[in-house]
Amino acid sequence: LYYGDEAGMEGYKDPFNRGTYPWGTENKDLLAWYRKLGKLRRILSCLREGSFVPLNADDHTMVYVREDSVDAILIALNAGENPRTLYLPDEWRTAEPVFGEAPDRNCGVILQPCGATALVRQKHPSVSGPFPLGKPETPEEAVES
């Protein structure tokens, strides 16, 4: 993440590689997205301290897990132009979707073109669920914390 990326700024060749921050004209959706990612990092210890476990990678997709003793997050990315169906390990069958699609009953996830899915599961489930501060349902809620 580089200065202004969260607001949708683009880099150009020197000396115009970055202009001034676009106060008041930021890309609101993109800014909300980065705030949601920041909130997830605060909520999920595995994103701060967890190990990185690659599960699958090919020309168009990458699937990996970040996990620690408390929780785990699976990230599946599709950089291709066509939808891809991925079949995940069984322990992800009941994982909570953060964004993207939840696994179906066969533990499959459809990744849309240039899309992503993130699933969270707790190693030792608690009554508060994987989002003790509350899962953000909308970009506006992601900004509130």
In the chain, where are the structural domains located?
1-43, 49-124
Please report the beta strands in the chain, taking only residues with DSSP state E, as ranges in sequence order: 51-57, 61-67, 71-78, 84-87, 96-99, 108-111, 115-122
Question: What was the pLDDT predicted at 128?
Answer: 55
Question: What was the pLDDT predicted at 79?
Answer: 95
* Architecture in CATH for domain 49-124: Sandwich (2.60)
Distances (CA, A) of 95 to 2, 98, 116, 122: 32, 9, 15, 8
Question: What was the pLDDT predicted at 127?
Answer: 54
Please state the pTM of the whole predicted model: 0.73
Question: What was the pLDDT predicted at 8?
Answer: 73
Mean pLDDT by 10 residues, the chain (145 residues): 69 71 80 85 91 93 94 94 90 86 83 92 66 47 43
Percent helix, strand and coil across the chain, each to the nearest 5: 20, 30, 50
